[in-house]
Structure 1
Amino acid sequence: MNDTHAQSNISATVELFQLIMYTPTFTLGLLFNVMALSFLFFKVKKLTESTVYMVALIFLDTLLLFTLPFKIISYNLQNNWNLGSVFCSVLESLYFVNMYGSILISLCICIDRYIAIRHPFVAPALRSTKKATMVCAIICLGTSAGTVSTLQLHGQDHNFSSCFHNFSKSTWENKGLFSTLETAFFCSMAAMTFCTIQTVRCLRKCKKPDNPQIHTNRAEKIVMANLLTFLVCFTPYHVAFLLYFLVKNNVIHNSFQQTLRAILQVTLCWANLNCCLDGVCYYFVLKESLEGSLKNSPKTAKRRL
C-alpha cells in the first residue's frame, strides 16, 4: 500500500515537473526559432557554413517542439491513448530521432569552427556552404532511417494504449540500439569538448592586449555556448538512460526501477530545454553573419574607398 502511494506521488511530481517545463519550453522554443528564421531570411544576405547548420538545427528543433503538447497529453493519459498507434509512432519518431539529429548538428557546428580557426590553411578545402548543406542532408536522412527502430518501441502490440511510455521488453533488451544511442552521445561529447578546448586556446593566443578583436570574442562565445548547451541539456538524460537500461537488464537491482524511471522522465524533459538554449547560439551566429553581410555590402565598400 505504501509502495503504491509512493509511486503515485512520484508519478504526480513528474507530471507536474513536465507540465512546468514543457509549457515554457514549447512557447519560448517556438518563439526563438521563428525569430531566428525571420532574422535569417530578412536580414542576412549571404549564407555561411554556420548559418546552414543553424537552419538545420532550427528545422530539427521545430519538429521536436511540435511533439511536446502531445507528450504532455500522453502523460496525462498514460493508459488511455486514443489518438491511434500510427500517429503515436510518428510522434515518437519525431521526438527521439530529432533529438539525436540535434546532437549531431551541434557536433558539426563545433567541428566546423574548430577547422576554420585551428586549421585555417586547409579550411577552404574542407568548408563551404555546399558541403555544409550536404552534411546536414546526410544527417537528416540518416536520423530519419532511425524511425525504423522507433516503430518497434512497443513491440508487436499494435493495440497499445500508452504513447511515449511502457516500451516493450524487447526494446529495453536491444543492446544494439542502446549502444548506438549512447555511443553517438558520448563520442559527440568527447569530440565537442576536444574541439572547443582547442578552438578557445587558439583564439586566446591570437588576442593582443592592444586589440581585443571583437570577432574573436564572438567566435569563442559561439563554441562555448554550443558546448555548454549540449552538456547541460543532454548529459543528465544519457546518464539516467544508461542506469535505467542496466536496471531493466538486471545488472542493477530492480528496487531502483521506479526511482530511475522517474529520473529518466525528468531528465528527458530537461533535455528538451535544448530547443530554447539553442537560441543563444543562434544569436551569436546571426550577429556574426549580419556583420559579415554589412561588411561586404556595396555601401560599406564605398565608405572604405
Structure 2
Amino acid sequence: MEEVDTNTSKEDRLCHFSEDYKQIYLSLTYSIIFMLGLPLNGTVLWHSWRQTKHWSCATIYLVNLMVADLLYVLTLPFLIITYSLGDKWPFGELFCRLVRFLFYTNLYGSILLLTCISVHRFLGVCHPLRSLPYRTRRHALLGTAATWALVVLQLLPTLVFSHTDLVDGQVVCYDTSSPKNFNQFFVYSMVLTLSGFVFPSLVILVCYSLMVRSLTKSEESLTRVGSTARAKSIRTILLVCGLFTLCFVPFHIMRSFYLMLRFLPSRNCQLLMVASLAYKLWRPLVSLSCCLNPVLYFLSGGNNRVRLFQELRHNKMGEHPAGAKGDRPRGGQIWVLSR
C-alpha cells in the first residue's frame, strides 16, 4: 500500500534513494484500477440486486467480496490526487486513517472471503451429502458476518498506526507508522501476515489439493458431483489460485522482506533500495484483485454472465420486458415486485 517511505525511517534517509517514479507510476496504475474496478464491481452488485431468486451461498460470499472491492475502489481518487501532488496529503487526518483502513479491509477481507468460497466448494465436491446441513444460506450469512468481524478486529490497530504528520514542510499520510512506532508496527504486521494471509492460504491449499484429488477420479467424481459442478469447481480453483499467485503472494513476500530490512539494525543501502523498489512496484498490483474478483462471480454460475449481458443489451437498446412478445410483460412485472 501507499507509504511515505522517504520520510518514515532513518535507514531511508541515510541511504538517500529517490522515489520520484511513484508520482507517475502509482497515479497511473491506481487510475486504471479505478476506471476498471468501479464499473465492474458496480455492475455485479446491480445484477445481483436484480436477481429474482434467493441468493445462493456462493452469491452471498461473492457479493460481500464486491462490496469490499467497491469500498476500496472509492478511496482510490484520494490516492491518485496525493501521488499526483508528490505524496502531499490534503484530505485531513480522518480520511488518512480511513483510506489506509479500507485498503487492508479489502485485502484481508478478500482473502478470508475467498477462503470461505473455497471451503464451501470443497464441501460440495468432496462431501456433497454430509455437508448439506452446513451449505445453507444461514451458514453463509454467518460466515460473512464472522469474516467482517474478524477483519475489523484484526485491523483496528491500523487506525492507530496510520496518521498524518508534517514532514519537510508538507503533510504526509503514513501507511505503516511514524518512525518512533515502527518497531511495534513491524511486530503487528508480521502477526497480521500470519493470521490474515498465511493461515487462510494454507486452508485454501489443503481444500484445493483434496478437491483436485477427488476431481481427477473422473468417473467417480462425475457421478457424485456432476459435470456442471465439476467444471465450476475447476474454474474456481484456477481463478482463485491465479488471484493468489498474481496479487496476494508477491505482495506479502515483498512487503515482509522490505519491512524486515527496515527493522534490522544493519543497513545495506543497495539491498534496501531494491527491496523498496520491488515492494512499491508490486503494491498497486495487489489492487488488481478488485478487477479480477468480478470474473469469479461470472464463472461461479452458468447463467450469471448470460443474464447480465441480456439485461445490458435490453437497457442499451431501450428494450424492456413490457415490449417483448408473449408472456414477457407479466414476467417483467414479477421481476420488479420480487426484487
TM class by smaller structure: 0.7 to 0.9
Aligned to 1:283: 298
Given residue 278 of structure 1, which amino acid in structure 2 is its aligned partner?
Answer: N
Residues 123-164 of structure 1, C-alpha deviations (whole Å, 9 max, x = no match): 112221111111111211222234431122247x76672125
The answer as to whether partners of 1:229 and 1:277 remain within 8 angstroms in 2 is yes
Once residues 154 and 165 of structure 1 are traced to their aligned partners in structure 2, the CA distance between those partners, rounded to angstroms, is: 6
The answer as to whether partners of 1:43 and 1:290 remain within 8 angstroms in 2 is no
Aligned to 2:239: 225
The structural deviation recorded for 1:62 is 0.6
Which residue of 268, 273, 289 maps to 2:288? Answer: 273
Q: 1:247 to 1:215 in 2, by over 3 A?
A: same
1:182 corresponds to 2:193: yes
Which residue of 173, 191, 207 maps to 1:163? Answer: 173
Residues 27-65 of structure 1, C-alpha deviations (whole Å, 9 max, x = no match): 111111122122222245121111010011011011111
Normalised by the size of structure 2, how large is the TM-score?
0.75
Given residue 17 of structure 2, which amino acid in structure 1 is its aligned partner?
Answer: Q
Given residue 22 of structure 2, which amino acid in structure 1 is its aligned partner?
Answer: V
TM superposition outliers: structure 1 runs of 4+ over 4 Å: 3-6, 157-160, 207-212, 288-291
Q: 1:166 to 1:218 in 2, by over 3 A?
A: closer
Given residue 137 of structure 1, which amino acid in structure 2 is its aligned partner?
Answer: A
1:105 corresponds to 2:113: yes
Structure 2: unaligned runs, 5 residues or longer: 1-12, 307-330, 332-339
Once residues 51 and 277 of structure 1 are traced to their aligned partners in structure 2, the CA distance between those partners, rounded to angstroms, is: 16
1:205 corresponds to 2:182: no
1:116 corresponds to 2:128: no
Which residue of 241, 250, 255 maps to 2:255? Answer: 241
Given residue 186 of structure 1, which amino acid in structure 2 is its aligned partner?
Answer: V
Once residues 285 and 179 of structure 2 are traced to their aligned partners in structure 1, the CA distance between those partners, rounded to angstroms, is: 25
Give secondary structure in 2 for the equivalent of 1:162.
strand
The structural deviation recorded for 1:209 is 12
Once residues 289 and 223 of structure 1 are traced to their aligned partners in structure 2, the CA distance between those partners, rounded to angstroms, is: 18
The answer as to whether partners of 1:98 and 1:143 remain within 8 angstroms in 2 is no
Residues 68-118 of structure 1, C-alpha deviations (whole Å, 9 max, x = no match): 121222223455322111121111111122211111111111111111111
In our comparison, the structure showing a higher alpha carbon Rg is 2
Once residues 148 and 173 of structure 2 are traced to their aligned partners in structure 1, the CA distance between those partners, rounded to angstroms, is: 24
1:194 corresponds to 2:206: yes
Aligned to 2:101: 93
Residues 200-258 of structure 1, C-alpha deviations (whole Å, 9 max, x = no match): 33223245899992332122102221221122101111001111121111166341333
The higher relative CO (CA closer than 8 Å, separation ≥ 6) is in 1
Aligned to 1:262: 277
Once residues 53 and 138 of structure 1 are traced to their aligned partners in structure 2, the CA distance between those partners, rounded to angstroms, is: 12
**229-238 or 249-258, larger mean C-alpha shift:** 249-258
Once residues 221 and 166 of structure 1 are traced to their aligned partners in structure 2, the CA distance between those partners, rounded to angstroms, is: 36
The structural deviation recorded for 1:170 is 4.7
Normalised by the size of structure 1, how large is the TM-score?
0.83
Q: 1:82 to 1:20 in 2, by over 3 A?
A: closer
Aligned to 2:10: none
Once residues 101 and 73 of structure 1 are traced to their aligned partners in structure 2, the CA distance between those partners, rounded to angstroms, is: 25
Aligned to 1:302: none
Give secondary structure in 2 for the equivalent of 1:272.
helix
The answer as to whether partners of 1:154 and 1:171 remain within 8 angstroms in 2 is no
Aligned to 1:296: none
Once residues 127 and 192 of structure 1 are traced to their aligned partners in structure 2, the CA distance between those partners, rounded to angstroms, is: 17
The answer as to whether partners of 2:118 and 2:208 remain within 8 angstroms in 1 is yes
Once residues 261 and 79 of structure 1 are traced to their aligned partners in structure 2, the CA distance between those partners, rounded to angstroms, is: 16
Give secondary structure in 1 for the equivalent of 2:42.
helix
Structure 1: unaligned runs, 5 residues or longer: 292-298, 300-305
Aligned to 2:311: none
Q: 1:252 to 1:99 in 2, by over 3 A?
A: farther
Given residue 247 of structure 1, which amino acid in structure 2 is its aligned partner?
Answer: L
Q: 1:289 to 1:200 in 2, by over 3 A?
A: farther
RMSD over aligned Cα atoms: 3.0
